Amino acid sequence: MIESKFGHRDSKGNYKPNKRISYPPVFVWPVKPLAAIKWLVSIPGYFFPWNSIYVGIGLVVWFFLSPSFEDYATPDFKLVLFTFSRNSLLVLLYFGIFHYRLYVQRVQNADFKFNPRWPSKNAKQFMFGNQNIDNIILTFGSGVTIWTIFEIGILCFAAKNSFNIINVKQDLFYFIAMIFLIHLWRDLHFYLIHRLLHFKPLYSLAHRIHHKNTNPGPWSGLAMHPIEHLFYFSCALLYLFFPFHPAFIIITLVHAGLSPAPGHVGFERIKLADEKSFDADSYAHYLHHKYFECNYADGILPLDRWFGTLHDGSDESQYRLSERLKKRNRRKIHT
Ligand SMILES: [Zn+2]
Ligand SMILES: [Zn+2]
C-alpha cells in the first residue's frame, strides 16, 4: 500500500488526496432513494464505522459506567470526581490510540500525512512552546471539564425536575430513532456554532486558540478556548426538549468529546495490517485548518455547498476560495 495510489505530494511535500470531498446521495435532486438507503447501511456510510463507535461507547457508558439517574439529582464530590475521571479516561484512551500509533510509534511514518512536518516542539504560539502539551492541557483542563459540567448539569436538572423519562423497552423505536439522529443534529449544531465562532469578536476571543493548529494532530481536536467548549458541548441541551432518556445526553457528549480525535488526526488514511487502510474522514476539516475560510461544516450535511464555502480539495475550489477572499478584502478596504 503506497500513498501514491490515493494521492500525490506537491513541491512542498504536502500530501493531496485524489479524492474530492463530496456528500452522501441524500441531498440530491432528482432523489436517489435506493442509493440513499444503501448509504444508510453500508460501510462507510451514515452509521458505520464512526457513528456506531460513539453510539456504542455512549450506550456502554450510560448503562454500565454511570451513577444512577437519581444520584445525578444531588451531585456530590464523589459523583463529580467519578464522572470527570471516567470522561478523562475515555479521552486518554481514544485520543491516545491515534496519537501513540501515528505520532509516537509512527507506524506509517508520514504516509498519508497531509503536512509533512510533525507537531511543533518549539513554537511560541503554544504553551511551553510545544503543540502537543498545549493541546493536552486545553483538552483536559477545559474540554473534559466542560463536558463533565454539561453532563452533570443537564442530568441534575432533568432528575430534579422529574422529567418524563421514556422506557427503552416500551419506546424502543423512539429510543433508536433519537440515537440514530444524534449524528445529524451534531452536524447541524457544529456548523451553526462554528459559523458563529468565525464572527470576528468571537474568533479573536476564543476560536483563534483552536486555529493555532494549522498542522493538526489528534490532540488538536479538543484544544479549544473554554468559551468555545461552552458553545461546542451545548449540543446536548437539545434533548431536554424531547421525551427524555439520559442515554441521549451521554451519547451526544461522547460523540462530541471523542469524534475530534480522528477528525484532526492529520492523516488522510490510517494503515492497518496486510496493506489495508481506512479513511479517517479528516480531509475536509484539515482544509479548514489550513485555509480557515472554507468547510465550516464537518459531516454529511451539504451546508458548505449550499452556502458556497465548500473546498473539495481541487484546484478549482482553491481558485474560488482565493477569489472569494479577494472580494471580501476589497469590500473591507472600501468600508
Ligand atoms: Zn478543528
Ligand atoms: Zn474554524
pLDDT (tens place) for every residue of the chain, 335 residues total: 589 999 999 999 999 999 999 999 998 889 999 999 999 999 999 999 999 999 999 999 999 999 999 999 999 999 999 999 999 999 999 999 999 999 999 999 999 999 999 999 999 999 999 999 999 999 999 999 999 999 999 999 999 998 889 999 999 999 999 999 999 999 999 999 999 999 999 999 999 999 999 999 999 999 999 999 999 999 999 999 999 999 999 999 999 999 999 999 999 999 998 789 999 999 999 999 999 999 999 989 999 999 999 999 999 999 999 999 999 888 877 76
Distance 194 CA to ligand 2 centre (A): 6
CA dihedral 318, 324, 327, 332 (to 10 degrees): -110
Distance 228 CA to ligand 1 centre (A): 11
Lookup: cell for 113? 500525512
Domain boundary assignment for the chain? 47-305
Residue 232's closest CA among 244, 240, 224? 224
Distance 129 CA to ligand 1 centre (A): 20
Residue 148 to residue 167: CA distance in whole angstroms: 25
Distance 167 CA to ligand 2 centre (A): 39
| Helix-, strand-, coil-residue percentages of the chain, each rounded to 5 | 60, 5, 35
Distance 163 CA to ligand 1 centre (A): 35
Residue 272 to residue 4: CA distance in whole angstroms: 17
Q: CB under 8 Å to 126, separation ≥6 — which residues?
A: 120, 133, 134, 135, 212
Residue 206's closest CA among 189, 191, 219, 223? 223
Find out whether 66 and 248 touch, Cβ atoms under 8 Å: no
Distance 163 CA to ligand 2 centre (A): 36
Distance 182 CA to ligand 1 centre (A): 20
Q: What is the pTM of this model?
A: 0.96
Decide the pairing of beta strands 7-9 and 15-17: antiparallel
Distance 195 CA to ligand 2 centre (A): 8
Other Cβ atoms within 10 Å of 333 Cβ, number: 6
178 φψ region: left (φ > 0), alpha (ψ -120 to 50), beta (else) = alpha
